[in-house]
Chains A and B, each alone.
Chain A
Amino acid sequence: MSKSYRDGLPISPENFVDQLMRLKRGSIGRRDFLGLTGLGIATAVMAREIGIMPTPAFAAESLGDRMSIATWPNYHDPATFENFKKDTGVAVEVNVFGSNEEMLAKLQAGASGWSLFVPTNYTISTYKKLGIIEPLEMAKLPNFDGSQEDPRFTGEGTIDGTIYAVPKNWGTTGFAVNTKKLTKPMTSWKEFWDTAMAEGDSRTMVHDYQLTTIGNALKYYGYSFNSLKQDELAKAEELLLKVKPHLFAVSSDYQPGMRAGDAWMTMCWTNDGAQLHRDIPEIAYVLGKEGGEIWTDFYAIPKDAPNKPAGCALLNYLMNPQVAVKEHLANGAPSTDARVNKLLPKEVLDNPILYPAADLLTPLEFGAAATLTDPGRAELMARFKSA
C-alpha cells in the first residue's frame, strides 16, 4: 500500500516543503508580489492562537549584537546598516514586506521579532488603538529635531500630544504616462479615467490596492479620496466597472509593464515615478489637479520589540541628517526634514516629481485609517476585480 503511494508521488513531502519555503523567500522587490508570497502570516496567526512559538524575552539595556527591522523593498541604502554595525556591533536583519496590512497582521499576531519598523501614516492610529506600539523615548533620539520637520508630514505620528512615530520620508500617488504613446497632455484624474477607456484602451494599469484605486476613482467626481459615503462609493464603483474591460492590468507591480512598453499609463507612487522618468525620459509623472493621496512613511518601535535599545539606537542613527541624506539618494523619496533637504543636491530638490509645486500638493489628502479598514471598500474592490 505505502509502496505504491510513494511510487506515484512526483515530489517528496520534504521536497515539497522545501519548494514552499523557496516560494516564501522568493522576494521580487515589489510590494505587491511580496504580498503574494506572504505565507508568513499563517505561521504568525497560528503562533498567537495556539501558542506554539515562545514570546521574545526582553534584552538587558545593552545593545546586544543583533536586531531586525521590517521595511519596504529598495527603501534603504544597504551601506547604512553596514556602517551601523561597524559603529555599534549590532547586525541588522532586514525584513521586507509587501503591504501595511501584512505588517499589521504579523505584529498583531505577536512575536514579530522586530525592533523597528516602517508603517505608513494611516496605520499608526490603528497600531496605537491595538496597543501594538509604544511612545518613542525622545530622550534617546537626540538626532531627531521636531522643529526641522514640516508639521504636515509629522502629524500622524503624534497622537494626543505623544510621539509614537517619526517620519522617514513622504510621497504622493499620481499617475505615470508614456508621453510618446499618449501625446495629449493630462493634468487630472478625470482625464486619466477617460483616457483609459479611449486612447489608453488596454494599455492602462491601476493599483491592486483599494485605498488608491477606489480613492482615485472617487476623485473623478471630485469626492474625497477617503469617502465612505454609500452614494459616492456607488458612483466610483460604476466608473470602475465601466473601465475594467479596458484595463491592461490591475496590479501594483507596474514598472515592468511600463518599461517594456506594454502599458502606457499607470497609477504610480512617487519613487516609481522618479525611477521610471530617470530611465525613460518620455514617461511623465502627473498629479491629478482634483487631488489624491499624499503619504508619509514613519519609523515606529513595536511594544514587544525584542531589542528595544538597539531599535532606538538605529532610529537615532537614521535621524542623523548625514545618514538620512544617503538614504534619500538611495531610495529616491522626498525628505520631511529641512536639515536633510539642505544637504540634498540641487537637481533632486528641483525634480518636480519628488518636490511638486505647492499648489499641486494643497488638494492632496492623507489616507485615513478608516478608509483602509472599511469592509465596504474591501467588498467594492473584490466586485471590481471579479467583474
Chain B
Amino acid sequence: MLLGPATAWLVVFLVLPFIAIAVFSVGERAPEGGYQAAFTLAQYANLPARATAFWNTMVLAPVGALACLLVAYPVAYYLALRAPQRWRLILLALVVIPFWTSLLMRTYAWMYILGGRGIPALLAFVGIEDVRLINTPGAVLLGIVYGYLPLMILPIYVSLERLDRRLLEASADLGATPLSTFLGVTLKLSLPGVMTGFSLVMILLLGEYLIPTLLGGGKVFFIGNALVDLFLQSRNWPFGSAIAITLVLVSVVVLIAANRISTRVSGARRVDLI
C-alpha cells in the first residue's frame, strides 16, 4: 500500500524527466539553439568532444570521496563510540545543521575566507606575504570535503552506532591489540556504512560543478560544468542530454560496483544504498 505514493513520486520526478532527456538526446540542436525533433545518434558520437571533462570528473569523484572518508571516519568513530552519551545528540546536530543552509551560500562563504581578505590577510599580519589560497586545487578539495562531510559521517555513524560492543570486549579478551581489534572488528563491521557514504558522495561528485567553479576559479572543467554550459550558454540541449544520459549510466555502474564490493568485503551482509 505504501508503494503507491513512492511509485508516483518516482514516475513524476525520475522516470518522466529521464524519458524527456532520452528523447532530447537523439534530437538535433535548432539553428538558434534548443531542441528540434530528429532521430540521430550524432550527439552520442560527439561525446569524445567532452572527454577531458569526463576524465577530470572520473578523477575528482573518487579522490574527493576518499578525502571525505579520511576526515569523516574519525569524526563518526568519536561520535558513535567515544563521545559522552549526553553530548552525542548535540554533536550530531552540529554535524547536520550546516547542511540546512544552501551549499551555494556556504561555498561563497569559503570564497571570502580563502580570498585575499581572509586567511591570506591574517597570514600577512604575521609576516607571511602573498599567499594565494583561492582558485587552487587545494581550495576545491577543501570545499568538497567540507560540503559533503555530513553525507559521509552519517552512514558511518549509523553503522558504528549499531556495532555490538560485546564483540569489542571479546576481541580484547582474546588478546587482540586495540589496533587489530579496530582493523578486524570495528572497521570491518562499519564497511557497509563506509561504502554507503562513499558511493553517495561519489555519485553527487559526478555531477558537481559549483565548488570547482567557485573555489577553483572555473579553470578546471568537470562534466557538470559542461552540462551547465550546454544547457544555459550554448543551448545545445541534445548534446547536453546525451551527456546527461551517459552520466546517469556511469552512476548506475558505480553504484552496482560499490554494492558488489561491499557485499564481498563484509561477507554476506546486505547493504542498502540509496
Contacts and interface: CB of A to CB of B under 8 A. Distances in A.
A99 B232 CA distance: 8
Given A7-B158, A260-B115, A260-B116, A102 B232 contact: yes
A386 B212 CA distance: 12
A23 B209 CA distance: 13
Contacts, number: 155
B213 A382 contact: no
B32 A130 contact: yes
- Say whether chain A's binding surface is mostly helix, strand, loop, or mixed: helix
B82 interface: no
Contacts of A7: 158, 272
Given A10-B150, A105-B232, A22 B102 contact: yes
A385 interface: yes
A381 B229 contact: yes
A36 B33 contact: no
Given A49-B20, A249-B218, A375 B29 contact: yes
Interface string A360-387: 0000000000000101001101100111
Interface string A257-273: 10111100000000000
B155 A10 contact: yes
Contacts of B105: 26
A164 B209 CA distance: 37
Contact of B234 (A10, A49, A257, A378): A378
B198 interface: no
Given A19-B102, A256-B112, A250 B218 contact: yes
Given A7-B158, A46-B20, A251 B134 contact: no
B232 A382 contact: no
A248 interface: yes
Contacts of A262: 115-116, 132, 134-135
B104 A36 contact: yes
Contacts of A63: none
Nearest to B6: A2
Given A26-B105, A260-B115, A386-B52, A373 B217 contact: no
B154 interface: yes
Given A26-B104, A261-B116, A373 B32 contact: yes
Interface in B16-33: 16-17, 20, 23, 29, 31-33
B67 to A, nearest CB: 18
Contacts of B219: 244, 247, 249-250, 385
Nearest to A384: B221
A42 B18 CA distance: 12
B32 A126 contact: yes
Contacts of A38: 228, 231-232
B217 A249 contact: yes
A8 B195 CA distance: 12
B226 interface: yes
Going nearest first, the 9 A-B pairs with the smallest beta carbon separation are A249-B217, A378-B234, A386-B221, A260-B116, A10-B154, A386-B52, A261-B116, A260-B115, A250-B218
Given A46-B20, A102-B232, 9 more contacts: A4-B272, A7-B272, A10-B151, A36-B209, A49-B20, A129-B32, A259-B117, A262-B135, A382-B49
11 contacts: A10-B150, A19-B99, A22-B102, A38-B228, A105-B231, A129-B32, A130-B32, A378-B233, A382-B229, A386-B56, A386-B221
Interface of A: 2, 4-5, 7-11, 13, 19, 22-23, 26, 28, 33, 35-38, 41-42, 45-46, 49-50, 98-99, 101-102, 104-105, 108, 126, 129-130, 202, 205, 208-210, 244, 247-251, 256-257, 259-262, 373, 375, 378-379, 381-382, 385-387
Interface of B: 2, 9, 16-17, 20, 23, 29, 31-35, 49-50, 52-53, 56, 99-105, 108, 111-112, 115-118, 132, 134-135, 150-151, 154-155, 158, 193, 196, 200, 209-210, 213-214, 217-219, 221, 225-226, 228-229, 231-237, 272, 274
